[in-house]
């Protein structure tokens, strides 16, 4: 296992936070705190902030992502946004299948797969989220479940496309709760995801796939989590809204 084969990616998930003017103010601070990063830095922002984010990050090392996209290119899907729309704006990344989408908006493994394929067909980099509920961890089925979520999410994704995919292991019980998985737990599940990718695409592809951890990663715990061999970065919610804390996480991933 060689961690140098993959670039660490720290991605912020702003969720439903920040108006465009607030986004501009936060990005002004972020530009300073992440400017020396030796990892990829992404901010995934609400749709209405995308234009501001793209404008304000131009010429910087910050890349911009959306928090979801629909699987159809266009049509009668009121309130939805398609991958071609994001692509034309200049968006590069998109979060797919976040647990809040699965829990509150009826997202399933099958729609996660469809959205992943839609993102890839436009050349967007999908950040595909998988992870277990607390009851599932307590039942001892975390690895089977996460392997299954990963397999379904990647159905019909080619080996070539796979090199663009980022997977985020996000235990649902750790998201926004302040309860973080231990570095060992995060590494164990990330390794299981990599083994699943290896079964589907071979070791060479699997070794190059960036697998993030997400779930209450913050300035205090990032270094330990990111030091693990299979933890290639983080998907950061709450701490991505604080420029100083996000900067500390980016620094930890840059080592």
Nearest to residue 209, comparing CAs of 169, 171, 167?
Answer: 167
> Between residues 67 and 201, which has the closer beta carbon with respect to ligand PEP?
67
Question: What distance in Å separates the CA atoms of residue 38 and residue 109, rounded to the nearest whole number?
Answer: 33
- Part in contact with ligand PEP (CB under 6 A); list of ranges 21-29, 67-75, 229-237, 242-250: 229-237
Subset of 27-56 contacting ligand PEP (CB under 6 A): none
- Part in contact with ligand PEP (CB under 6 A); list of ranges 73-81, 109-117, 139-147, 213-221: 213-221
Among 26, 175, 206, 252, binds ligand PEP (CB under 6 A): 175
Catalytic residue among 56, 67, 98, 107: 98
> Between residues 10 and 201, which has the closer beta carbon with respect to ligand PEP?
10
* Residue 149 touches ligand PEP, criterion: CB under 6 A: no
170 is a catalytic site residue: yes
Least distance (Å) from ligand PEP to the CB of residue 42?
A: 12
98 is a catalytic site residue: yes
DSSP single-letter state for residue 82 = B
* Residue 170 touches ligand PEP, criterion: CB under 6 A: yes
CB atoms within 10 A of CB 209: 20
Cβ proximity of 26 and 246 under 8 Å: no
* Residue 112 touches ligand PEP, criterion: CB under 6 A: no
Q: Look at the alpha carbons of 241, 13, 255, 54 in this order and tell me if their dihedral is positive or negative.
A: negative
Q: With contacts defined by CB under 6 A, how many residues of the chain interact with ligand PEP?
A: 15
User: ∠ CA 145-179-207 to the nearest 5 degrees?
Assistant: 50
Among 124, 167, 236, 252, binds ligand PEP (CB under 6 A): 236
Among 46, 126, 233, 237, binds ligand PEP (CB under 6 A): 237
* Residue 190 touches ligand PEP, criterion: CB under 6 A: no
> H helices of the chain, where?
20-33, 50-57, 83-89, 99-104, 109-121, 134-139, 142-153, 159-162, 183-201, 203-208, 222-226, 243-253
Cβ proximity of 118 and 81 under 8 Å: no
Least distance (Å) from ligand PEP to the CB of residue 156?
A: 25
- Part in contact with ligand PEP (CB under 6 A); list of ranges 67-75, 103-111, 197-205, 212-220: 212-220
CB atoms within 10 A of CB 174: 23
Rounded to the nearest 5°, which phi and psi values hold at 93?
-125, 160
The residues assigned a catalytic role are 98, 170
Positions that interact with ligand PEP (CB under 6 A): 13, 15, 98, 170, 175-176, 214-217, 235-239
């Amino acid at each position: 296992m060689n961690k140098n084969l993959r670039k660490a990616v720290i991605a912020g998930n702003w969720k439903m936070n920040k108006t465009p003017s607030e986004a501009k103010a936060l990005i002004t601070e972020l530009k300073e705190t992440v400017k020396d990063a030796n990892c990829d830095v992404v901010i995934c922002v609400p749709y209405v902030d995308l234009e501001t984010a793209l404008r304000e990050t131009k010429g910087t090392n910050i890349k911009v992502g959306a928090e979801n996209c629909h699987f159809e290119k266009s049509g009668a899907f009121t309130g939805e946004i398609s991958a071609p729309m994001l692509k034309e704006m200049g968006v590069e990344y998109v979060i797919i299948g976040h647990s809040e989408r699965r829990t509150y908006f009826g997202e399933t493994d099958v729609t996660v797969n469809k959205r992943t394929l839609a993102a890839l067909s436009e050349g967007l980099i999908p950040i595909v989220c998988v992870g277990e509920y607390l009851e599932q961890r307590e039942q001892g089925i975390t690895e089977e479940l996460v392997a299954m979520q990963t397999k379904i999410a990647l159905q019909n994704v080619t080996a070539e496309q796979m090199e663009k995919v980022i997977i985020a292991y996000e235990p649902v019980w750790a998201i926004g709760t302040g309860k973080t998985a231990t570095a060992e737990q995060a590494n164990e599940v990330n390794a299981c995801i990599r083994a699943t990718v290896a079964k589907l695409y071979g070791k060479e592809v699997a070794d190059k796939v960036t697998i993030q951890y997400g779930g209450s990663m913050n300035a205090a715990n990032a270094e330990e989590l990111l030091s693990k061999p299979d933890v290639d970065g983080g998907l950061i919610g709450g701490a991505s809204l604080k420029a100083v804390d996000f900067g500390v996480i980016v620094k930890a991933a840059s080592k």
